[in-house]
Structures are given as C-alpha cells and as structure tokens.
Amino acid sequence: MATRRQFIRISAMGAGAVMAGAAGLRLLASELTDGQKATMAALTGRTPTYCEVCFWKCAGWVYKDERGSIQKIIGNNEDLNCNGRLCPRGTGGVGMYHDEDRLRKPLIRTDDRGTQSFREATWEEAFDYIAEKIKVISAEHGPECVALFTHGSGGKYFSTLLRALGSPHVAAPSYAQCRGPREVAFQATFGEALESPEPLDIRDTRCLVLIGSHLGENMHNGQVQEMSDAIDKGATIITVDPRFSTAAGKSKYWLPIKPATDLALLLAWINVIITEELYDRPYVEKYTYGFEYLKEHVKNMTPEWAYGITTIDPTVIRETAREMANASPAVIVHPGRHVTWYGDDTQRLRAVAILNALLGSWGRRGGFFRTETFELPEPPHPAYPTPKRSWRTEFPDLYKMADTVLANGVCDATVPDPTRACEFQAWIVNGTNLMETLPNQENTLKAIQALQLLVVVDTMPMEITGWADVVLPECTYLERYDDLRVGPHRKPQIALRAPAAEPLYDTKPAFYMARELAKRLGVIEYFPFETMEEQLDWQLKQVGSSLEEMKKIGVKTIDRPYDDLYFYPDEDVEFYTGTGKIELYSLAMEEAGYDPLPKYTRHEEPPEGYYRLNYGRAPMHTFSRTANNPNLTDLMEENSVWVNPRVAKEWGLSTGQYVHLMNQDGKRSEFPIKVRVTERIRWDSVYMVHGFGHQEKKLRRSYGKGASDTNLITRVLVDPIMGGTGMRGNFVTFITDLAGEEVVS
Amino acid sequence: MNEELIISGRENLMVDPQLHIWHWPIPLYLFLGGLAAGVLFFAALYYLMGKENEYRSAVRRVPFIAPIALVIGLAALFYDLRHKAFFWQLYTTIRLESPMSWGAWTLLVITTASFIWCALHIREFFPNWDWKYNWLKELETFFNKYKKHLAWVMLIFAIITGVYTGILLSAFNARPLWNTSVLGPLFLASGLSAGAATIVLASKNREERLLFTKIDLVILGVELFLIVHMFMGFLASTQVQIEAAGLFLGGEYTMVFWIFVVMLGIIIPGILDLMELRGRHIPAVIPGILVLFGSLMFRFVFVFAGQVSRWLY
Amino acid sequence: MRYAMAIDTKKCVGCSDCVVACQTENNVPIGFCRDWVVEVMDGTYPQLEIELRSERCNQCENPPCVRCCPTGASHVAEGGIVLVKPNKCIGCGACIASCPYDARYPHPKGYVDKCTFCIHRVKEGMKPACVAVCPTKCMYFGDLDDPNSDVSVVLKKRKYKTLIPEAGTKPHLYFLI
C-alpha cells in the first residue's frame, strides 16, 4: 500500500528530516497559513490511542500543535482494524475533546428527577453519595438489584465493580437493541457468535450480499475499506434494500425489496440453491446436519412464491442465487449488525447463516475467516462472589436463547410490577444515551422514575444525564489510559490507549471512578493496581512487552500460532453445537421450543396515509453520540426525512420544508424535520438517520436539530427467542402545519 | 428526477448557499467611480476643445464632485476588504492580467488628477483663495502650464476608469451573467450618462444644459442598444448564459431591472430629455435624478445578480 | 512537475472523511471547508444511478483566480499548485467570485483560503491529508509528468472526466467514472 511505503520512508528519515523540515519551514513560512505551520510543528511527538467514538476501536496516533492542544488523529498503519486510515468519526474525534458543551464537574440532583436541577459537587461527595445508596440497596434488596448499562471502555471497570459486589447484571444495549439476534442465530448454527469486528473476508470475496446492511453509510471502517478492495478486484455486490443505499449504488444487483419481507427472499434463495444443486456439496455433506429437513422445508418456497411477497422478480431471484453460488466459497451473505427489526429477527439471521453454510463460505477464503485472539493476564483478584439471583428468574419462559443480559430486560424489570419478586433499584449508565438507545421512551422513563439511584457516567450532557441522581463527568478517550484493546482479527493484536492530554476541566477516567467506589464499598481488592499505567505495564511485561514499547509502536501484532485462517482442505472441524456440526436444522432451538427452521411470517403493513419508518446511519455520525461534535456537525448538523416524489406530490411536500412526523400511536416528533424529496426511497417508507433531535438544551449545538426516530418508536416488536427489540414496526404520517413553530437553526 | 447536492454540509460564509462575497460597498463604488469618470471625461474633453469658458460648469465646477465621489468610493472599497492591513500590497506590483490591478493604479492616477484639477479651479468657489505656501503656489503655476497635458491624462484615465469596472466583471467567466464583453462599454456609457446628467443638474447655463441633455440622450440611446444587444448575446449563447439571462427574463431580478434600471433609469429620462429638446420645459432635476438613480441601480442589480449566476448546481 | 489528483467515483462512499481530515490537518476553522462531497442522483425508483465525488480546488492550469488577483497573492507555485500568500492578500474577494467551482472561501482571519494539495506534506513525501485518510482508498495523487506515479497509472487504466471543462480552466482534479 502506498501509505505504508510513505510511512516507512518518513520514519527512516528520522532526525535528518526534522532538520531539513525546519529549514524548509523557514522557506515555506511565508507561503503557509497559520494552520499549516501548526501542522508542520506537530510532526514529531505523537501519542498512541484507539478510538472510542464507535465500537470498532481503530488504533491511531494523536498529534498536538505547538501549544499542546490536540490537533489531529491519524490511523496506525499497523492496525488491522483500520490499516492506517480512520473513518470520519475517528478523524473528528478531536471534536469530542474540544466540545465546549462537555460535562465539567460532578453533579448531584437537588430536586425531582427530570427537573434538571443539579448542584456541582466534589468527587468525594459524589462517590460518598453513590456508595451510601448502593450499600442501602444491597442490604435491603441484594447487590443483584444494581445494574450497569454500558457501551464503551469504561464498562470494564464498572463491570468489575458490580461483579465484585455480586451482581451479574451488566447489560450492553448493543445486544438486544442491535446485534443480539445475529449472535444467537449464528451461535445456534455454527456454534459461535460473530462478535466485533465481524470475521468477514470481504477483501477476498467474489460476491458480497448485503441484506439490509448499508455499508458505506454505516461506517464499519475495516469493512468499508475491504469492500473497496473487493470492488477493485471486480467482486459482485448484491444489495437487498427498500432504499437505494450507497452500497446499492455500487451493486451489480439492487433488489428494491418490499420492507419486512426479507425472510421470504432468503428462503427462496435457499430453495433455488438446493433445487438447482448449486450448494457446496462436499462442504454440506461433511460439515452440516439437517440438510434433508431443510430441503423438505423450503420445497415450496419458490421464487414465484417469494415474488408475491417481496415484489422481486423471480428471474432476478434466480439470477442472484446463481451469482452467489458461482462465487462460492468466496461469497458472503453479510449478517448485518443492527438486525433488531420486526421481532422474528433471530429466524431471519438463521436463514442468513443457513444460506452461508450452503454456500460453504464459513471458514473459507472470501467468506468468513477464523479469528484469533490473544489472552492477556487479568490483574490478580479474588474470585467473584456467586450472584444469588439473575434477571432470568424474572422472565423464566422468555428469551431462552439470550446468553447475555438484556438492556431492555433490565429496563422492563425496573418498572414496578406487583407480580414480580423484586425490581432493579439502581442503574449505572456509562457511555450510552439510554433515552435514544432503548425504544419506547415512555417505558424507559417509567423505569427511571422507579429507581432509587441513577448514576450516569458520560463525557457529554446527553439526555440520560438529565434524569440522573449523580452525573459523573468522564474524560474523553484522548485524556486517559484504558485496558489494552485485544480484539479478534486475522492476526491477534494488542493496542494501547495512552492519554494525549491531561483531563480537561474536572473530569476523570472511569477506572478512577470505579476504583474509588470500590474503596468505599469494600471491594478494593478487585482493583489491585492504583493506576491504569501500573496495570498496563504489569500486563505487558507478563507477555514480553512493556508500556514503554507500546507507547512507541501503539499496536503490537502477534503471530497466529497456527496457519489456520481458513479451514484446511478436508479438515475435521468440530463446531460448538450439540451435534458438533453446522446445524442447518437447529436442535438447540427445537429444544427451547422455537422453530428449528425459519418460517416466513407476514408483518403488519402501514395503514393508508402512513409510511414505514426506516432509519439508518450516516458515515459522519454514530449513535446520538456525535451530534454535538463540532467537526462532525460541520459535515451534517441535522437529519432529514426522505420522501418519495410520488408521496411528496400527494402531500405537497418540497425539499427543505419542515414537517412533524406522527406515528400510529399518535406520538408526535418533538421537533420538526426537514424533508428531502428523493427517488432513493420507496413510496411506502420514509427514511431518516438516527441520532438527531436532541432534547437536551445543554447540547447547544445539536439541541432541536432534526428529529429523533427513537421518539417515534413506541411500538416494539420483541423477539421471543432472545428478547431483541424490533424497531421497524412503526409507521408515520406527516403533519405539515407547524402552527407558527420556530424551527431551531 | 435529478438531484445534485453537497452532502458534507458545506456552508462557507458568503459562498453558500449562493455566492454573496460582494455587498453594497462594491456597487456603490462602481457608481461613484463611473460618475467621477463621466464628469472628469467631459471636463477634460471640453477643456481640450477650448470650451472652458462656454461650458463653465462642465469644465470648472462640476468636476468638484469627482474627488468627493472618488474618496467615498475608495473608502467603500477599503471597507469591503477583509484583510485591510495589507491593502498597500496593491501598490507593490502591477498585474497586467488583473483588471483590478489596473483599477488600483488607474484610481491612483485619476484621483490625483481630479484633486489637481479641482485645485486649479478652486477660485470658482473661493475667489480669494490663497495657497499660502510657496511650494503650493509653484505647483499651481506648474500645473497651469501643463494643463493641457493634465487634461489629456484625465481624459484617458477617465475612460479607463469608466470602462475597467465593466471589463473587471466581464473577466469573470465563472459568473455567466458578467461574462460578456458588452459590459465594459455599457459601464462606460452608464458612467458618462451619469456625468452628463450631473452637469445638467448643476449647470446654470441654458446652452450648456441643452448640450448635455443632447449628449445624455445619445448616451442613453447607446446604453439601451447595448443592453438589448447584451441580452440578444446571452440568449444566443450557451446554456449557462441563457440561464443567467433568465434572471432578468422572468427570474428574481426581472422587476427591479426592467423597472428601476431600464424604465426609470433610461427610457423615462430619455423621453423627458427628448421633450426638453423639443421645447417642452421639463424641470432638469427629474431626468437628472432618474439617470443617476438608474445608474446606481444598474450596478446594484448587476453585482448582486451576477453572483447568483453560476455554472454549477 | 504537475501535481494532480484522481478520485474514483465508483469507490467513493461519500463518507466525508476527506473533509474532516483536511480540517484537522490544516486547521480549517469550524464552519468552513476546503473540500466537500457531492452526490448526484439520477433516475426514477428503482432505475437509479448515483455518483459521489469528493471535490476541492482543481489547481487549474489556466486559473482564473490567479489572473484576477490584483496583488499576486494568488499564484502558481511549484508543481502547478495554486497557492495564496496570506500576507499579500488584501481580502478583496475577486478570486472567490472568479472560481467556477466555488473552491475558495474567506478565512475569518481576512485572507482567502482554499485547498493547497497539502503541499507542506507533499514536500515531505507524504500524500495530502484527504488522500491519506480515505477509507476506500479511492483517491490518487501524484505527478502527471511521472508516468509511474499513482495518478498517472490510474488515469491510463480508467475512463475519467473533469468538472466544467468548458470553463477552460484545465483542472487537475480527475474523476474516474
């Protein structure tokens, strides 16, 4: 790669370059603007980090200008997650540091929850307050009634704290609000979940099938990079999406499917591949179980049958199936990531897994590779106490296949219910804006109002902070050490996050917070090291490295012990399923009382005058987290609602006009949203990017800009298999009369 | 359906959503510069034709407007600069390809010339003016001796001042509305007619007034011809030019252009001038003010509309 | 030596990383940008086509902005790159009006600013910040006069276009189509 060559040349030039650069600087000085002069000065002296803006955790280098202010963040060339190139959010991470709206001091609530009345407190006050409450709750109800919601590096420390206290309730919304159904489906089929980043060999694939995945608008850095590589190599992309996504624009086939009918298409594909005998026969015979059942099951699910449901031409269904099979085994039916759509998502992902299995892509080049990770020694601590209760006891017959704590489960189990033995009493929320994350905001608020203690740890005054009892201001990832990133990838890597600057204002890292709480709660022995620096150095020395070395290189690659990225020909692979094989027919699901093979079920369609609310991502934002970031709002400061021209004509809407949206339950959007009339969206749906419509006034840049889709997701289609909250079952209509309302601009 | 949009949120001040980098100071200067050019042109011309006593206003009195207009105009230009501390860089070089560079130097010359010319005729207003210092008296003598040369310089540089602003705008191929070579002569004509109108307004001599009314009428006719010619040129040109012309043929500037600039600024004063020449006595104020107003509006409309016209989305 | 850039519209996903990277590299003030991304949509659902372009100053060979500059602040530097000397710029704005691509903007400090092809990086053997960061690697930069440079190689392989060629500016920004 060109950048690698350039990079090596520079590091080889070393001191000479600095001197030559300085001389050149003087010559150039009259030509340079102030900004460029600062950049030249900053070419030396960089700090390694890995990004915290989204979950991808790309490793990079932080550069500061001559005044010591953080100037820019560049990718680490050795990092397999990003290959030296950060995505726009990562590049814009500097904005997270510079955002003037950041939380600055610990806050303690002074009035009723939700009135936003806080007083500034010292860290000691805040910790004492929290510790006292937790002690009381533990004594009265048990430590299991304290739950943690987390999305980010800080979760590790609060999780240690909770487990040390005896609570197993660590919930990541990224499970049941996002990838949960996929993990369960792939676990049931292949015996292992997909994790992050997904082990997709996109750069070597010959056919990439995106079903509801909008790579390029969702910025899964490594995957977008590899998709570009695949395009270079002439790979075929097949996109299935009711919307003309960016990926659809690069696809050989775009299937403009009717929303909520994807499962029918998948089953029809399976039908074609089995009927026309296009599947990888030796692979299927050697590695799979239940082929005959599957064959029988899809017997009548022909493309003609699917045509009636999906509106996709049967010829196209056959052609695309053949295209996939032709590329086999270098084909990927992308499992997507946010797959909580209609409530039958686990079954839909089962169909995706089955299809991949038939095509023989699992464990093969251009399909799914085998990840390798690395074990880092944990700091020595006593064994965790066994919790006496878990959330499962509150939902005995539901979500049997969920294998982690459900965020919505915890939320539901917080809302007082006389039939229940106990409720959650305290929440610690770190790095996730629950108001925008969990659908059905009303339910979330009910739960919050019932809590005895709500602690929110965040860098920004997100909506959830307004409801807290105690707000603990976290410093950004650029101002702290954190656990080493040890992620599974083609080769195991360790990445270091070191602080590039001192924490601004009175902010602190989550490690410090958890540790201080542990002190007061009598579980300090679970935090043997006083600082992360000490812990990191200890850990690294255990594996033959050191903090010193990692600071210089940022990322350390460890060789795979075996050359087993893909299956060897004829390898006797054992899968972690009941049968030891890839279960096309899932015995585990059958045992738990669910359908062992996916069945298509019809989902509700929008009533007259309503349109299905589809939401997605923009590549310059992530979650609702970046909506206030100055660098990223510069790129996109509000979302718009995409409306098909036929619909726009009917309603008299034009691009740039502001409208309110109202859903089927009468819930109106809090703020109006700009219309974009475009052919890219189907006439039965509208589309908007998630993460806008902030209601928190302290977010000065993003308050009132655009509308929040979460606001309008009141109808939640819960997946009975693992509790995933399907969010695409809401329909909206337009309210064009703003009644003199002023639009925030 | 065709959409072409910027999706990275570009909102560069004064560039997005539409170019608006030049505000009122620019058209104000263009008007004042054109007016001064017209006034000084006629002053120099009739001096060189030996008519300085016949047309006292034109040659000796009205030119006093020029330095005032030029100073205000230059102040407006200076005010418009965004990097004011470096304005002097204009005078460290002359760039032959840049009409603005021409303009900077031309303005230097014409402003100086206009001040000198007025200094020479200071006794039109202050009959007992005494220069006091010897070196000033020597300068007066010097310039009086070379008054003809001064007049030639003034004549030529007045024409350059009048025409270069039009050339400056017409050199912007990025702004299709301006990109027509008719604009130079049109600006000159507009400036000359403003000058002539001012002379008619200020003159106390009936013959002078009649002459300059005649001159004004001719120039207004030329202006009208050039405007029609310009539009014919646009409509026979490429798509961007047709679109640019569309701004005045149904677009947002239609009313203001045809009513304020053409009707009020050219046609009506033209008719009034004609009537005056045919013997109907029209108070000179009316066509005079209308012409000046039209000249001013013309520059405003053109500078603003020109920034709207573009090649892209 | 003639520097040029080629952008592969088939690979660009419109993520705007190039815009943020340029901002942090060159201290472009918040609210302004030296480069931007354009989306062009054509057709009727479902027969649709999309083109994504990362645009910036075209570093034209026949630059109207250099022609109209009264002080010479706008000039052509080595490699054919068009630069602005901030201390020669008087902020008259003529160059902003003269650019058919709207590539320039008035910097809050008073002078006129635009993309410089990161000449300060190029001189050190690095690529411009936008090219270096692009996750899809769809941007190519190099010397047109060097047949082995990235940009020369890719222009030989692919069909390409420039923007508004009829404006006569002879741009050095190529879009692979």
Model confidence pLDDT, tens digit, residues A88-141 = 999 999 999 999 999 999 999 999 998 989 999 999 999 999 999 999 999 999
CB B205 within 8 A of CB B59: no
Does the pLDDT of residue B299 top 80, yes or no?
A: yes
Q: Which residues of A touch C123 (CB under 8 A)?
A: 24, 28
Contacts of C23 in chain A (CB under 8 A): 631, 634
Q: Kindly report, residue by residue over A664-714, the tens digit of the pLDDT.
A: 999 999 999 999 999 999 999 999 999 999 999 999 999 999 999 999 999
A 611-640: CB under 8 A from B:
620, 633-637
Rounded CA separation C1/A673 (Å)? 49
Give residue-wise pLDDT tens across range A319-375.
999 999 999 999 999 999 999 999 999 999 999 999 999 999 999 999 999 988 888
pTM exceeds cut of 0.80:
yes
pLDDT for the residue numbered A16: 44
**Residue of A28, A208, A634, A745 best to disrupt the C interface, most CBs of C under 10 A:** A634
A502 touches chain B (CB under 8 A): no
Q: How confident is residue A33, by pLDDT bands cut at 50, 70 and 90?
A: low
pLDDT confidence of A40, banded at 50, 70, 90? low
Q: How far B252 CA sits from the closest chain A CA (Å)?
A: 19
Q: What is the pLDDT of residues B120-148, one digit of tens each?
A: 999 989 998 888 899 999 999 999 999 99
Better-predicted residue by pLDDT, A739 or A184: A184
C-alpha A726/C-alpha B87 separation (Å) is 64
Q: What is the CA radius of gyration of chain B?
A: 21
State pLDDT tens for residues A455-493.
999 999 999 999 999 999 999 999 999 999 998 899 999
Chain B hits for C92, Cβ within 8 Å: 80-82, 100
Closest by alpha carbon to A594, among A350, A352, A268? A350
The architecture of the domain spanning C3-176 is: 2-Layer Sandwich (3.30)
Interchain contact, A679 vs C17, CB within 8 Å: no
Contact between residue A554 and residue A84 where contact means Cβ atoms under 8 Å apart = no
Q: Which of A21-25, B84-88, B117-121 has the lowest mean pLDDT?
A: A21-25
Closest of A73, A78, A83 to residue A52, by C-alpha: A73
Contact between chains at C20 and A17 (C-beta distance less than 8 A): no
- Interchain proximity A679–B1, CB inside 8 Å: yes
Interface ipTM: 0.95
- Facing residue for C97 by CB, picked from B3, B103, B175: B175
* pLDDT for position A29: 42
Give the model's confidence band at B149: pLDDT under 50 very low, under 70 low, under 90 confident, else very high. very high
pLDDT for residue A34: 56
End-to-end CA separation in angstroms for chain B: 14
Ordered per-residue pLDDT tens for chain C, 177 residues: 999 999 999 999 999 999 999 999 999 999 999 999 999 999 999 999 999 999 999 999 999 999 999 999 999 999 999 999 999 999 999 999 999 999 999 999 999 999 999 999 999 999 999 999 999 999 999 999 999 999 999 999 999 999 999 999 999 999 999
Which run of H or of E encompasses C6?
Answer: strand C3-8
Residue B210 has pLDDT above 80, yes or no: yes
What's the half-sphere exposure (Cβ side, CA atoms, 13 Å) at C110?
17
Per-residue model confidence (pLDDT) at position A745: 61
List of E strands, A698-738? 717-718, 725-726, 731-735
Residue A3 and residue C134: Cβ atoms within 8 Å? no
Alpha carbon distance B190, B163 (integer Å)? 10
Per-residue pLDDT band at A392 (split at 50, 70, 90): confident
For the cut 90, the answer to whether the pLDDT of residue B279 exceeds it is no
Mean pLDDT of the residues in chain B: 93
- Decide if pLDDT at A181 tops 60: yes
Average pLDDT, chain A: 91
Packing angle of the helix pair B147-170, B134-145 (nearest 10 deg): 80
- pLDDT above 70: percentage of residues in chain A: 94
Residue in chain A lying closest to B5 (CA): A676
Contact C109 A34 (CB under 8 A): yes
Q: What does the pLDDT read at residue A36? A: 60
Which chain A residues have a beta carbon less than 8 Å from that of B9?
633-637
CA distance B13 to chain A (A): 13
pLDDT, one tens digit per residue, over B174-207 is 999 999 999 999 999 999 999 999 999 999 888 8
Map out the domains of chain C as residue ranges.
3-176
Phi–psi pair at A10, nearest 5 degrees: -65, -45
What are the E-state strand segments in C56-138? 74-76, 82-84, 105-106, 112-113
Mark yes or no for CB contact C96/B99 under 8 Å: no
The minimum CA-CA distance between C85 and chain B, rounded to whole Å, is 11
∠B24-C108-C53 over CA atoms, to 5°? 95
For B:7-66, CB contacts with A below 8 A are: 7-9
**CA–CA dist B35, C36 (Å, integer):** 42
Residue A630 distance to chain B (closest CA, Å): 12
> B2 to chain A, minimum CA–CA distance in Å?
9
A30, A635, A745: which to substitute to probe chain C, counting the most C Cβ within 10 Å?
A: A635
Chain B interface test: which of C57, C92, C111 (most B C-beta within 10 Å): C92
Alpha helix (H) residue ranges in B81-182: 99-120, 134-145, 147-170
Which residues in B lie closer than 8 A to residue A219 (C-beta atoms)? none
Q: Touching check for A36 and chain C: CB below 8 Å?
A: yes
- Pair A719, A172: CB distance under 8 Å: no
Residue of B nearest to C69 (CA): B98
Q: Which of B20, B79, B98 to mutate to test the interface with C (most CBs of C within 10 A)?
A: B98
